[in-house]
Structure formats: C-alpha cells, structure tokens
Amino acid sequence: MRIDSNGWVMDVERIATPNFDARETGKIDLLVIHNISLPPGEFGGDGVQRLFTNTLNRDEHPYYRTIPEGRVSSHFYIRRDGQLIQFVSCLQRAWHAGASTWQGRTRCNDFAIGIELEGSDFVPFTDAQYAVLHELTQALRAAFPIRGIAGHSHIAPGRKTDPGPCFDWLRYLAQAVT
C-alpha cells in the first residue's frame, strides 16, 4: 500500500465528501482510531458512507434522527471484510475528532488522520480489519512523521468510547511498531 503525493492511498476506493477543509498546520503526526456502524451494531450497509457524504436519510431509521446535525467525515473507513475506503486526502483536514486534546494540543483534526473501523464497542473486530489497519498504518508512517496513535476515547475522554473495549490494542500496536 502506498500514498501518493496528493495524500491518497493508491488503488483503493474513493468516495467524495464535502466534509473537509484545509489543515491549519502542515504537520501530520497522529493517527486516531475510531469505530462506527449505522445503525449501531448493524454492519454491511451504506449508512456510514451516507453520513460522511451528507446523504443520510434521517427518516430511514429511528436512530438516524438522534444523530446531531452537523457534518462529519474521516480519512479512512475499514469495513468488516477489510475493504478500505478513503473519503479525504491525508493532506486535508477531515472532521472526525471533534473537541479533542492530545499531548497538550487541542483540535486534533488539525494534525491527525482519522481511521474508522466498521464496528462497535461490543463486537470484536475482524482479522481482515486488523490486516488492513496494519498495512495502512505502515503506509501512513512511511509518508508522514507519525509520533502517536490514539483512540477517539484517548483524545476525547468522557465524551467518546471508541474504538472500545473490543479493540485489541496489544495486537494492533505490536504490528504497528514493526
């Protein structure tokens, strides 16, 4: 897996989203791991893609009406089967972290790359997801001066819980540092 000079992973599916803007800083040094499924706990649908592209029909499912209005995105989304989708160039700021702090710096979206895993706090992630996450992490570390890897819960404690207790940090970090 390689990242081109425009911040796109080569040979993966891209889905255009309007939910990004220019980074205020050029330094990208944090990866933030998230989980998401829409509706919660249901996998395989297109709810996440529609949320990230502002095309989610809020009348389609009762849960969708509880999602706060606003625009959200992530750089990457890894489905349960390992399919990787990129929504935002790594050189742009995706809107995944919200109010957040890491090592004394606020506004993590300014310097982070967001990776969403299709999942929930209550279901283990798949081998295919870990394999793609490992490969993506290696590519991102080769392209950018990544100094840290955190969960959404680490940068927004008390507000967010993802990637959740079912995410195997030991497994991931053992691969991520090799």
Q: Give the burial class of 4: count Cβ atoms within 10 A of its Cβ; 0-12 exposed, 13-18 middle, 19 or more buried.
A: exposed
pLDDT at 175: 81
Helix residue ranges, H only, the chain: 47-52, 127-143, 152-155, 169-176
For the chain, what percent of residues have pLDDT higher than 90? 93
Domains of the chain with CATH codes: 13-176 (3.40.80.10)
pLDDT of residue 5 exceeding 90, the answer is yes
Structure tokens at 162: 């993802």
Closest to 133 measured CA to CA, from 97, 74, 82, 81: 82
pLDDT at 137: 97
Which has more confidence, 177 or 128? 128
In 83-147 the beta strands, taken as DSSP E runs, fall at: 84-86, 92-94, 101-102, 105-106, 112-118
Residues known to be catalytic: 116
104: its two tokens: 């004394």
- Supply the pLDDT for residue 177: 67
pLDDT at 2: 96
Q: Is the pLDDT of residue 26 over 90?
A: no
